Amino acid sequence: MPDKKKKTIDPAALELLERAKELGIQTAFDRTEITKPCPIGREGNCCRLCFMGPCRFVGKTNEGICGASRETIQARNLARMIAAGTASHSDHARSLAFVLLAAARGEAPDFKIKDEPKLRRVAAILDIPQDGKTVEQIAEQVALRALEDFGRQDGEISYVKRAPKKRQELWRRLGLAPRGIDREVVEAFHRTHMGNDQDPEHILTHALAVSLADGWGGSMFSTDISDILFGTPTPVSVRANLGVLKEDEVNIIVHGHEPHGAQMILEASQDPEVIAYAKSKGAKGINLAGICCTANEVLVRQGIPLAGNFLHQELAILTGAVEAMIVDVQCIMEAIVPLSRRFHTKIITTSPKAKIEGAMHIPINEHEALSIAKLIVKTAIDNYPNRDRSKTFIPDYTNVQVAGFSHEYIAYMQGGSYRESFRPLNDAIMQGRIRGGAGVVGCNNPWVTQDEGFVYIIRELIKNDVLVVTTGCGGHACGKYGMLTPETMAHAGPGLREVCQAIGIPPVLHMGSCVDNSRILTVLTQMATEGGLGEDISDLPAVGIAPEWMSEKALAIGAYFVASGVYTIFGVDSPVGGSQAITKLISQGWEEMVGGKLEFEPDPQKMVEKALAHIDAKRKALKLEEYRPDRYAQSQSYVPGDAFSAEAYKKGLYSAKKAS
């Protein structure tokens, strides 16, 4: 198990953990120490796929009761995790496709087609004829086409053709182009049932196909449909961390992943009648804040504050100042329900797919969404008088962040609508002003110090002139420490800093939620096809890093980045650490096959070293100018200060006191 010295570097979290201790309350941080996960299962050495087992591969045991080898069971375990992650992202996309369909047919009056240009761009990609059709008719066709891709039996899903030509051909040659999203997921579970596919390499090759059904299927449709319904993000400034909660307002937290319910909660909370109702209960107003990806999806589009990432969900309740936490699907800890009973907080589940015992269940459907959302918000307001002031403790930390760099905006910012392109970015990489790119994304995991990996790795990368993009809980982490502001360019190497100054962007770009990792695929494709950096994603000097991963969804993302040609490094620990052969297969083996590889490396410093070495090797293979940090060292207009240290953070250097 990793040796962890402290639980978190977040001062707000530290104060609340202290508070939890005073109250005798345990959180995931404490349960990590008490529970001690099974070391056999943790490294993938346990098979429980049939009732002759579970078979544990320890000591001299090298086969299961059925004779399955260690490699087979490792491959099956990993493939199943990737399939479950793919199912989650994709089922989220399916919900959105149904919302779009209902909106297009006039059956979801509270949802509108907010971004018609995006709808038309998506329709064009899908070859849907638009002449003489109304916006609603086009939207209906887009929704139907997405749903078709879920149930498609043959051929390939629509978005395969969005990849670089060379990549598409490779996938087709290897049989990796997903036929249908549901089909690949179902087949993964079939193949890994007892007594079926028992060739580890064969199992894991299919796992790559499954993951592509996520990246270029479910996740990409999620992103597109969310943009159509709620608007394509553009940079917006929001506040982050638990200090956004208010002493004198009804605090409502939305947490989860699917954006449509949260969007309705947001609209309900802005309704003058609902606000008046809150005032009638003695509150000054309604304060909505978000946790995890629901926050990244909805709130950043409209500048609403973020309460924090995955490990902040219990801490938010510990403030004693939250009237309701409204959750939909994914990454919701069951622990929040018993915890909420120690305070006045109500946990309300809103997805027909997810109930939690002891929580209030008010499912939101697309047909009467807003009226249900108003009911939910009123339930929170009714709870406001129950807040016990002697128990509230809101840590006074927030920070400013700029988020909302959609791939469309990244193209736009490099030339405006007149001449948008990836030419400036590609040129900067070719000249060595920017050394390369990195996506630093993913979860929190209480097995490592919360946010420490993100802050360390990103700081080192930008110092070394690597442009960073982030999503998901990684985005929250960056936001909390002020790393998403233009001022962060003070910490960038001189070449990268100059580019950031010229365009006016931070060196770390927040691209959205975890399904928005699909936006990174689009950016990589645009860079690979712009010219000068090879002709496939695997040619690019780029890496993916998930330093604090924990979920099956994270593994699905890791796998689709690999299958798309990206070197991907995961932190914490390896779920296949019990087999050297499988470890080699998913790194060296996959690299030979698809040009990307998956490695697990717990040490953040080594992650940075590996990332830089890979970027330099790719630069060399492309015969680009050698990267020399001193070459463009002219730009000194920013004096670097230590904005990221907990000390600086505590002093309030970058944490203006709870601004609204």
- What residues make contact with ligand NFS under the rule CB under 6 A? 257, 292-293, 310, 331, 442-443, 472-473, 514, 551, 553-554
Indicate the residue among 485 and 551 with the shorter CB distance to ligand NFS: 551
> Please, what is the Cα angle at 225 between 222 and 231, to 5 degrees?
115
Q: Residue 66 touches which of ligand SF4, ligand NFS, none (CB < 5 to 8 A by kind)?
A: ligand SF4
Least CB distance from residue 83 to ligand SF4, whole Å? 17
Q: How far apart are CA 261 and CA 369, in angstroms?
A: 7
Distance of CA 67 to the CA centre of its chain: 38
Q: Which of 12, 14, 55, 555 binds ligand SF4 (CB under 6 A)?
A: 55
Residue with tokens 């193949």: 191
Q: Which of 12, 68, 306, 336 binds ligand SF4 (CB under 6 A)?
A: 68
Distance of CA 215 to the CA centre of its chain: 12
Least CB distance from residue 304 to ligand NFS, whole Å? 17
Indicate the residue among 27 and 198 with the shorter CB distance to ligand NFS: 27
Q: How far apart are CA 19 and CA 16, in angstroms?
A: 5
Q: Are 512 and 298 in contact (CB under 8 A)?
A: no
Does residue 52 interact with ligand SF4 by CB under 6 A?
A: yes
Least CB distance from residue 85 to ligand SF4, whole Å? 21
Among 239, 242, 289, CA closest to 12: 242
Q: Residue 194 touches which of ligand NFS, ligand SF4, none (CB < 5 to 8 A by kind)?
A: ligand SF4
Among 340, 309, 347, CA closest to 12: 309
Does residue 41 interact with ligand SF4 by CB under 6 A?
A: no
| Site residues (CB under 6 A) for ligand SF4, limited to 560-589 | none
Q: Residue 442 touches which of ligand NFS, ligand SF4, none (CB < 5 to 8 A by kind)?
A: ligand NFS
Indicate the residue among 68 and 291 with the shorter CB distance to ligand SF4: 68
Q: Are 463 and 492 in contact (CB under 8 A)?
A: yes
Q: Are 375 and 362 in contact (CB under 8 A)?
A: yes
Q: How far apart are CA 291 and CA 242, in angstroms?
A: 10
Indicate the residue among 99 and 514 with the shorter CB distance to ligand NFS: 514
Does residue 40 interact with ligand SF4 by CB under 6 A?
A: no
CB atoms within 10 A of CB 172: 12
Indicate the residue among 217 and 442 with the shorter CB distance to ligand NFS: 442
Does residue 47 interact with ligand SF4 by CB under 6 A?
A: yes
Does residue 64 interact with ligand SF4 by CB under 6 A?
A: yes
Which span sits near ligand SF4 by CB under 6 A: 60-68, 446-454, 612-620, 652-660?
60-68
Indicate the residue among 45 and 226 with the shorter CB distance to ligand NFS: 226
Does residue 73 interact with ligand SF4 by CB under 6 A?
A: yes
Q: Residue 473 touches which of ligand NFS, ligand SF4, none (CB < 5 to 8 A by kind)?
A: ligand NFS
Instruction: Give φ, ψ of 308 to 5 degrees.
Output: 150, 180
Q: Residue 49 touches which of ligand SF4, ligand NFS, none (CB < 5 to 8 A by kind)?
A: ligand SF4
Does residue 66 interact with ligand SF4 by CB under 6 A?
A: yes
Q: Residue 461 touches which of ligand NFS, ligand SF4, none (CB < 5 to 8 A by kind)?
A: none
Q: Are 491 and 456 in contact (CB under 8 A)?
A: no
Indicate the residue among 51 and 418 with the shorter CB distance to ligand SF4: 51
Indicate the residue among 66 and 335 with the shorter CB distance to ligand SF4: 66
Q: Residue 553 touches which of ligand NFS, ligand SF4, none (CB < 5 to 8 A by kind)?
A: ligand NFS
Contacts of 152 (CB under 8 A, 6+ apart): 179, 180, 181, 183
Instruction: Please tell me the count of residues contacting ligand SF4 according to CB under 6 A.
Output: 14
Q: Residue 292 touches which of ligand NFS, ligand SF4, none (CB < 5 to 8 A by kind)?
A: ligand NFS
Among 89, 72, 96, 42, CA closest to 560: 89
Q: Which of 12, 14, 25, 49 binds ligand SF4 (CB under 6 A)?
A: 49
Q: Are 637 and 492 in contact (CB under 8 A)?
A: no
Q: Which of 23, 40, 50, 648 binds ligand SF4 (CB under 6 A)?
A: 50
Q: How far apart are CA 560 and CA 554, in angstroms?
A: 10
Does residue 194 interact with ligand SF4 by CB under 6 A?
A: yes
Least CB distance from residue 61 to ligand SF4, whole Å? 10
Residue ranges of the alpha helices (H) in 577-603?
580-584, 590-594
Q: What does the H/E/C string look like for 556-603? A: HHHHHHHHCCCEEEECCCCCCCCCHHHHHHHHHHHHHHHCCCEEECCC
The span from the first CA to the last CA of the chain, in angstroms, equals 41
DSSP label of 138: H
Q: Residue 38 touches which of ligand NFS, ligand SF4, none (CB < 5 to 8 A by kind)?
A: none
Pairing mode, strands 286-291 and 250-255: parallel
Pairing mode, strands 55-56 and 46-47: antiparallel
Which span sits near ligand SF4 by CB under 6 A: 44-52, 89-97, 395-403, 521-529?
44-52
Which two structure tokens, joined as six digits, stand for 517?
Answer: 């990792």
Q: How far apart are CA 503 and CA 413, in angstroms?
A: 7
Among 329, 219, 258, 149, CA closest to 561: 219
Q: Are 487 and 639 in contact (CB under 8 A)?
A: no
Least CB distance from residue 433 to ligand NFS, whole Å? 31
Does residue 65 interact with ligand SF4 by CB under 6 A?
A: yes
Q: Residue 551 touches which of ligand NFS, ligand SF4, none (CB < 5 to 8 A by kind)?
A: ligand NFS
Instruction: Give φ, ψ of 147 to 5 degrees.
Output: -65, -35
Q: Residue 200 touches which of ligand NFS, ligand SF4, none (CB < 5 to 8 A by kind)?
A: none
Cα separations in angstroms, 472 against 53, 299, 439, 517: 37, 13, 11, 9
Residues that bind ligand SF4 (CB under 6 A): 47-50, 52-55, 64-66, 68, 73, 194
